[in-house]
Amino acid sequence: MRSQGNDGDKLYRATVHKELLCFYSTYYTAAIKGQFSESQKHSFIVELNYEQTRLFVTWLYSGRLEHQPDESNNGEDAYALYIFADQTDIIALRRTVMTFVIDSTAKNVREVYHCDFDEIIPQLPEQSQLRRFLLEEATAFWVDQTGNCVRELYDEIVNDEVLRGPLGNFFKQLLEGVSENIEMKKIGEKIIGFPENPCDFHEHTNEREWETSKKPRPGYFKDRGA
């Protein structure tokens, strides 16, 4: 397995057990054990850069994502891994990424910039848990601002004409959510807060697994995003 890149780029290469890929991913099960041309390959190029591929391989064998709070691209790498896990049907990695992202956001307060969404949102389906997290985080951020933030947000979005582009539906939902929550805040009702519980954004393969996940888990499994 190796990372993608252009001539001159530093590439990450690693030997990975095929059975491990098949265990986590139906996509790789079909690619490796199916009747497709990919099944004859002995090497896969993943749509990740050097660092993201390294993180993925490390996760395959440890179940963890490294958290380095001083690294400015932690979020970017995590989002790329989530999109990759979405494309290759690795639900366990998506859960781990959501735990990492929410824990990281809680520890390192960051402002929400529209540029964060340009490359991410168009690659996520409507039902994506990462998309829902980004929407709730952005909503909570704008509701938390002082002054006429709805007008400020509206002007910023409309002036950029993002409502007409691929992010249009996302920002329409953001505007609606901010407006609704500000009205609720005025009358003292509970409003949306910053996402804090990773379990709220974990997917499960079936109801039985979901019921099991609600039971207290040993620390070992918590570290693995279970």
The pLDDT value recorded for residue 221 is: 36
pLDDT digits (tens, 9 = 90+) for 88-120: 999 999 999 999 888 876 565 555 555 578 788
190 with 207, same domain?
no
The pLDDT value recorded for residue 209 is: 47
Measure the CA–CA gap between 97 and 80, rounded to whole angstroms.
Answer: 10
What is the pLDDT confidence band of residue 75, given thresholds at 50, 70 and 90? confident
Measure the CA–CA gap between 48 and 46, rounded to whole angstroms.
Answer: 5
Residue 119 carries which DSSP code?
T
100 with 117, same domain?
no
Is the Cβ–Cβ distance between 121 and 133 less than 8 Å?
no
Domain that holds residue 145: 113-195
99 with 202, same domain?
yes
The pLDDT value recorded for residue 21 is: 93
pLDDT digits (tens, 9 = 90+) for 18-54: 999 999 999 999 888 886 655 566 778 999 999 999 9
Q: What are the φ/ψ torsions at residue 191 (nearest 5 degrees)?
A: -115, 170
137 with 218, same domain?
no
Sign of the four-CA dihedral 20, 95, 204, 133: negative
CATH code of residue 62: 3.30.710
Q: Tokens 């395959």 map to which residue?
A: 60
137 with 213, same domain?
no
Measure the CA–CA gap between 3 and 51, rounded to whole angstroms.
Answer: 9
The pLDDT value recorded for residue 225 is: 44
How many domains does the chain fold into? 2
pLDDT digits (tens, 9 = 90+) for 166-222: 778 888 888 888 888 888 888 888 887 788 888 888 886 655 544 444 544 444 334
Q: Which of 194, 204, 208, 206 is nearest to 225 (CA)?
A: 204
Measure the CA–CA gap between 218 and 132, rounded to whole angstroms.
Answer: 28
101 with 205, same domain?
yes
78 with 140, same domain?
no
